């Protein structure tokens, strides 16, 4: 994940964007043959990496190695992740197939030079990745509230 899927996914998510600042709006998307080729290459990597994930007996880390963000509250250990995958392998395989579909959609968008297609494929990619991570990697993660949803500091202090 950290060396194959994550870098490919990052390029996918960063390939099309809109940034609005006081100086103006900057639209980012692949424009040159080389930029489209780079997106295409990462799409192929994502689609093919899903096949590695589906291989029977494939471990989540090298033997004894920790997962990225090991020790973060709510994250499972590598051994716990492997047990969770074994207990619900069908669901894990569906997430891997969803990753494959997102990679294929990204590839189609790159071949068509379709920035909106990249955005749509990026959403599918996010759904596949986050769904799998929430089920198998960090099912106990506690997402902090947004600042406007957080309790008032005075309420917290008075409760202590």
pLDDT in tens, 9-42: 999 889 999 999 999 999 999 999 999 999 999 9
pTM over 0.85: no
* Cα gap 98→45, rounded to integer Å: 14
Residue 114: which residues within 8 A CB-CB, separation 6 or more? Answer: 108
Q: Where are the domains of the chain?
A: 5-159
Question: Coil, strand or helix: which one is 17?
Answer: strand
pLDDT in tens, 98-124: 999 999 999 999 999 999 999 999 999
* Cα gap 85→57, rounded to integer Å: 11
Tokens of 56: 């029977």
**Structural Rg of the chain based on CA atoms:** 19
Exposure of 122 in the CB half-sphere (CA atoms within 13 A): 18
Residue 62 has a pLDDT of 78
Q: Is the pLDDT of residue 151 over 80?
A: no
| Mean pLDDT, range 132-143, rounded to an integer | 87
DSSP 18: E
* Cα gap 115→31, rounded to integer Å: 10
Tokens of 81: 């992740």
150 vs 108 pLDDT, higher one? 108
Q: Which fold has domain 5-159?
A: 1.20.120
Tokens of 109: 């968008």
Tokens of 106: 């990204």
**Residue 59: phi, psi to the nearest 5?**
-90, 155
């Amino acid at each position: 994940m950290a060396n194959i899927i994550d870098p490919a996914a990052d390029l996918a998510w960063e390939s099309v964007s809109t940034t609005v600042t006081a100086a103006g709006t900057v639209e980012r998307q692949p424009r040159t043959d080389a930029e489209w080729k780079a997106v295409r290459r990462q799409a192929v990597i994502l689609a093919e990496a899903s096949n590695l994930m589906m291989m029977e007996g494939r471990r989540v880390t090298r033997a004894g190695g920790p997962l990225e963000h090991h020790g973060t509250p709510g994250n499972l250990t590598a051994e716990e992740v492997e047990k969770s995958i074994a207990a619900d392998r069908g669901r894990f395989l569906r997430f891997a197939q969803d990753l494959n579909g997102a990679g294929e959609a990204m590839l189609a968008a790159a071949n068509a030079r379709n920035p909106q297609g990249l955005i749509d494929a990026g959403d599918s990619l996010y759904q596949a990745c986050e769904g799998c991570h929430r089920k198998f990697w960090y099912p106990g993660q506690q997402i902090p509230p947004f600042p406007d949803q957080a309790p008032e500091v005075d309420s917290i202090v008075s409760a202590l």
